[in-house]
Amino acid sequence: MTVLPITASFPDCHDCPCFRSGPGEVCLRCAGAQIAVPTAAACPLCAQRLGDAGRCPNELCRNPRRRIGKIHAIGYQEGALRRAIRAYKYGGVRSWSTIFGRLLLAWLEQNMAETPPGLIAANPTYTRTESANAASEFDTSGGSGFAHTEAVLRAAAAEDAENRWPFDTGTPPALEKTRPTLKSSDGQESAKRLSGNDLRSALHIPDPSRTRGKLIVVYDDVCTTGAQLDAVAGCLLDEGGAASVEGIVLARAPWRGR
């Protein structure tokens, strides 16, 4: 494969010849030079930066009822990566799904090739039209019915020329969100727990045979406390019969606590 020279660095990806051609490892290497990435010193369970005492501040990691095995992160939600995610979810620049899909695919190749998951699913988006009254209270996941997590999965699958990775891009998806749920973004820890509980009651697995006995990796864009990913893991384990569930996010948010 011929790889074009990189002439613009992340997050100016749209000005780079590689925007149309990739491949993913080039995009991950370029982005990795511009974003802060988790190191071996980060929390091994949720990728959060550790506190001064070397202890993870995230309550989820100490919770004996935690359902998610671990949460991986491609980078931290700051600087260029934070701006790119905001442009994608709230600024209407949907072409970012191409780059995010490549970053996800390259991360999988680098980190899970020896223990590949049985299915890679999205933290699902509720895309049906919502009423104006619901918009301020509930999360419509990007607005205008935009399935932002699913779009990244589709982009990653399109880049996976050898079909090495089991991306959940079919209809219906392995995991569905049946109604709008409480907003999660920018909330504190207590609000995140409430939104996670609300999400759990809105999830549905149409066909448990697709998830039963498998390691499921759930993709999301940002993780703050992990409450939503933990709720998704609970559904996949209890209703889907999954063997285990892990999360992979584009960005691990800085800790805000209570």
Contact 23, 102 (CB under 8 A): yes
- How confident is the model over 43-69, as pLDDT tens digits? 999 999 998 788 998 999 999 999 999
Separation in Å, CA 101 to CA 156, 236, 239: 4, 23, 28
pTM to 2 decimal places: 0.87
- How confident is the model over 94-137, as pLDDT tens digits? 999 999 999 999 999 999 999 999 999 999 998 764 433 333 33
> In sequence order, what E strands does 44-145 have?
71-76, 119-122, 138-139
In whole angstroms, what is the distance from residue 197 CA to residue 167 CA?
26
The 10 Å Cβ neighbour count of residue 4 is 13
Among 141, 161, 158, 160, residue whose Cα is nearest residue 90: 141
Query: Which residues does 6 contact at the CB level (< 8 Å), separation at least 6?
Result: 16, 17, 18, 26, 30
Instruction: Determine the pLDDT at residue 14.
Output: 85
Per-residue pLDDT 10s for the chain (258 aa) are 445 455 668 888 888 888 877 778 888 888 888 899 999 999 999 999 998 788 998 999 999 999 999 999 999 999 999 999 999 999 999 999 999 999 999 999 999 999 999 999 999 998 764 433 333 333 434 344 689 999 999 999 999 999 999 999 999 999 999 988 876 655 555 555 566 778 888 999 999 999 999 999 999 999 999 999 999 999 999 999 999 999 999 999 987 655
